Amino acid sequence: MGFKMGIVGLPNVGKSTLFNALTRTAAAQAANFPFCTIEPNVGEVAVPDARLDKLAAIAGSKQIIPTRMTFVDIAGLVKGASKGEGLGNQFLANIREVDAIAHVLRCFEDGDVTHVEGRVDPVADAEVIETELMLADLDSIEKRRAGLVRKLKSGDKEAVQADRLLALAQAVLEEGKPARTVEIDDDDLKAWKMLQLLTSKPVLYVCNVEESNAAEGNAHSAAVAEMAAAEGAGSVVISAQIEEEISQLEPEDAFVFLEEMGLEEAGLDRLIRAGYELLHLETYFTVGPKEARAWTIQSGTPAPKAAGVIHGDFEKGFIRAETIAYEDFVSLGGEQKAKDAGKMRAEGKAYVVKDGDVLHFLFNT
């Protein structure tokens, strides 16, 4: 699996320009007026990982298959969306379907690009969207708790659990805090996720700055970073303009362009890495002469569940995982040499897969 990130923001903050650049398509119309993105545009990108190329070179793999990340460009939000203003209802429904929210904030000054509120204040913009999502969650919670009354009277266990979790979320929301601030026990995690509360989604703030500030950011992005740190959210600085220019270049030319701009890597790479950290994701690899492939898992995933990412039968019939650490595979020159050096391990069902593991699964059909 990769993961699905919804790109949200007020109108005219550069999110559709960013989406176009990141997915190297013109699927989203970038225009200087609100609501130019009517339907959520979906684009997939390969997750860059230099380790995969190195593994493929050592193994002589004919094909390289990276893991993928899905971006969903969601219609611009305005104040009052929780009450259906603008494209509010559609916007809110689309957010429920993503794993995390990349909240694009305007951190650039440009008199030619209209701001829906007539000012540049990314922290205030963030508060507008957060407020709308919290109001929508509160409205949803009230309706859902009212709908549970009959089941609660009959002692339905699932209803009791759902009502308890909804009450916890309602309490923090009424204090002006998002649902993601609620501490959830492991036993309640599955039920909590099923509630699909908008403010329970992890948030990554994407500071869209001018080209000249792409390397270091500016005062606006610094204020966002401070806000993100206080919330326990992530933040990343990107210039949508630069990303758009890079998307039109060949890889070699893009590398030179980035160097000239004083950037070590493209914004896409920084955005994906920040997203992985936000969602506690890791990568393992399968490597052979036919293909070298990357797979995304949640950190702390046991071997059978990691195998299930490839195919459900791998998880059901799991016997063991033959495991080589990435560093050993590379330093020793491949699978056979790592095996000869005693660096291949046979791991059972309790083994927790580590980032960079090169795995081969044995299973019963």
Tens-place pLDDT, residues 266-279? 888 888 888 888 88
Q: Residue 4's beta-bridge partner residues?
A: 70
Lowest mean pLDDT among 5-14, 182-191, 322-331: 5-14
Q: Is 17 labelled a binding residue?
A: yes
pLDDT reported for residue 249: 83
Give the predicted TM-score (pTM) of the model: 0.81
Q: Is 16 labelled a binding residue?
A: yes
Tens-place pLDDT, residues 43-67? 888 888 899 999 999 999 999 999 8
Do the Cβ atoms of 37 and 69 come closer than 8 Å?
no
Average pLDDT of the residues in 286-313: 95
pLDDT reported for residue 38: 39
Rounded to an integer, what distance in angstroms lies between the CA atom of residue 225 and that of residue 256? 28
Lowest mean pLDDT among 31-35, 140-144, 279-283: 31-35
Whole-number percent of the chain with pLDDT over 90: 53
- Mean pLDDT of the residues in the chain: 86
Amino acid at 233: A
Q: Is 12 labelled a binding residue?
A: yes
pLDDT exceeds 50 at position 213? yes
Structure tokens at 280: 């506690």
Q: How confident is the model at residue 115 (pLDDT cuts 50, 70, 90)?
A: low
Domains of the chain: 3-278 (3.40.50.300), 300-363 (3.10.20.30)
pLDDT reported for residue 83: 56
Q: Residue 282's beta-bridge partner residues?
A: 297
Q: Is 61 labelled a binding residue?
A: no
Q: Residue 210's beta-bridge partner residues?
A: none
Whole-number percent of the chain with pLDDT over 70: 88
Smallest CA-to-CA distance from 98 within 66, 77, 131, 74 is with 74
pLDDT reported for residue 44: 81
Q: Is 13 labelled a binding residue?
A: yes
Q: Residue 214's beta-bridge partner residues?
A: none
